[in-house]
Structures are given as C-alpha cells and as structure tokens.
Amino acid sequence: MSVLVDRHDAVAVVTIDRQEALNALNVETLTELRDRLHELADDESARAVVLTGAGERAFVAGADIKYMAGLGPDEAKEWGGLGHEAARLLEEMPKPTIAAINGFALGGGCELALGCDLRYASSNARLGQPEIDLGIVPGWGGTQRLARVCGLGVAKELILTGRPVDAEEALRIGLVNAIADPVLEHALGVAGKLAGKSPGALRVAKGLLNLSPGALELEAEEFGDLFASEDAKEGLAAFAEKRPPRFLGR
Ligand code: HXC
C-alpha cells in the first residue's frame, strides 16, 4: 500500500508513500490514489481532505519518468487520463481539498496540488512543471490549472522554461496560499476549521468557483501524441541515464 488514509476527526489525510522515488507516481500508486479519492468524495463523514507526501523531501516528484520512458501515444493518453481523474476528483469533490506540500512538487506533483482548493508549502518546497526538459508537456491539468491559479503570463514562463520555484516565489506568484512549518500541522488546522462549516455552503461555493472554462480534455490528447516523437523518447531516457538530453527536433 503506497497511499495511506488517516482520520483526524472529520478530516481525512491522504499520504502518498513511495519515498524511494521521492513519491513519484507509478500506475499502482496513482490508481490507489484515484480509488481513495473516489471513496472520500462519496464519504459524508469526511468533511475535508488533506493530501501530502511521506517523508521530509517530497510531496510528489512527478509522474514516474522511468515508467513513462516505455510508453507509446495510446498508453500515454491512458496514463494522462488516470492522472486527470485524480486531479479532477480533488478539484470537484464536494468538500474542500488541501495540498500540504512538504518538499518537491514537480510535474504531476504540482498538477495534483493545483487540483486542490488550497495549497500550503513548507519552507523547503520546490514546485514546478519541468516536463519541457523531458521533451513532453504537463499532462495532468497543469497547462490549464496553472494559468487559472497564477495567470497566463506566469504559467507560460514556468511551463515553457521548466524552471522550478522555491516556496517564497510560489507564495509571491500565488501558486501557494501560505508557507508554514510543519506544513501538515498548518493544513490540518485549516482543514479542521473548514470541517466545522456548512457542508452544503462549501459544496456550492466550490462548485461556483470552479465554473471557469478550460481545455483539460485537449491537454490529455496532445500529451499522448507527443510520445510518438523521438525527442520525448530522448528526454525521458536521458533522465534514467542521468545525462542531459539531446533534442533533435523530431
Ligand atoms: C522516477 C524519480 C522521479 C520521477 C525522482 N526519482 N523523481 N523516479 N520519476 N519523477 C527517483 C530518482 O531517479 C532517484 O532514484 C530517487 O528518486 C532520488 O532522486 P534523486 O534524483 O537522486 O534526488 P536529487 O538529486 O535530490 O534530485 C531530486 C529531483 C530529481 C530534483 C526531484 O529527482 C528530479 O529532477 N526528478 C524528476 C522531476 C521531474 O522531472 N518531474 C516531472 C516528471 S514528468 P534512483 O533509483 O535513480 O537513485 C511528469 C508528467 C506528469 O510528472 C503528467 C503525466 C501524464
């Protein structure tokens, strides 16, 4: 089991625990996460959900790059779809969701955090969308949600350059709501307060706030198509081989 659910009164804490890979998500872990979120969405006794990563170093260091290195376009679309389901559950479940970002939140990790209603970061957190340096693009909602949360200008800079930001910069650009240590304790405090509010009013407020347009389906499609390129194969293989990629433009 690499996804644990603990209860703190009416607050559910979901912890992703795959520390040997800085909590990067493989199929098994992401499927478990999707399933646990599905259960919590339907569970009226859970009034708020906190998502975090196990250990001191990472929230989630992204989708598992070594797994993705072997994917063709159709499999990559399915993989994109699975992460979209998890992020959509965080975004749309009828109760508040909070990311307690305790270290690296890169690629798919940042995208899961962006699916949450609120984001708090530890002072050692690093967030970003480094997919461009793998020859691919964000595939779990980042192209849409980063722009919605931080504005189009910031989203373009971070997604096109792949540059990660530290906690201070994340706060300045609105990517996180606050910096707090220990971050889980802070997130639990906020979640506890939200759990005492009217669930019906929270559900309606969240639903209304989410009524902004996006192109999430198109993102999943384009993400998968990139896996037919030599550059994606090169970028993903270079990570496992611990060398810089050589992109040839095809
Ligand atoms: C697979 C990963 C991983 C990842 C880290 N690891 N991130 N494995 N997928 N995303 C593994 C490393 O290979 C290593 O295992 C172990 O975790 C510790 O990582 P190190 O690199 O040794 O640690 P450090 O030098 O401290 O560097 C930390 C790091 C770096 C900066 C976070 O690991 C890194 O750059 N990781 C990749 C981040 C990334 O690009 N994420 C986006 C992925 S794309 P071994 O066994 O080798 O020692 C993505 C797409 C989402 O998320 C959409 C999909 C549809």
Q: What's the CA gap between 183 and 56, in Å, rounded?
A: 11
Mean pLDDT of all residues in 197-207: 91
Structure confidence by residue, pLDDT tens digits, 149-162: 999 999 999 999 99
In a domain, 208, yes or no: no
Q: How many helical (H) and strand (E) elements, i.e. helices and strands, does the chain have? A: 11, 10
Q: pLDDT by residue (tens digit) across 175-184?
A: 999 999 999 9
Burial status of residue 10 (CB atoms within 10 A of its CB: 0-12, 13-18, 19 or more): middle
Residue matched to tokens 């996180």: 176
Please answer whether residues 201 and 209 qualify as being in contact, where contact means their C-beta atoms are separated by less than 8 angstroms.
no
pTM, rounded to two decimals? 0.94
In this structure, is residue 149 part of a structural domain? yes
Domain contains 162: yes
**Whole-angstrom distance, CA of residue 3 vs CA of residue 33:** 6
Residue 80 inside a domain? The answer is yes
CATH of residue 124? 3.90.226.10
Asked if residue 21 has its Cβ within 6 Å of ligand 1, the reply is yes
Active-site residues, by number, are 111, 131
Residues in a beta bridge with 106: 128
Query: Both tokens of residue 212?
Result: 């902004």
Residue 66 Cβ contacting ligand 1 at under 6 Å: yes
Go through 41-52 and write b for each residue having 16 or more CB atoms within 10 A of its CB, e for each that does not. beeeebbbbbbb
- Residue 212, pLDDT above cutoff 80: no
Q: Is the CB of 227 under 6 A from ligand 1?
A: no
State the closest ligand 1 atom to the C-alpha of 66, by its place in the atom list counted from 1: 1
Domain extent, residue 48, equals: 3-183
- 3-class DSSP assignment, residue 29: helix
What pLDDT is stored for residue 213 in this prediction? 65
Domain total in the chain:
1
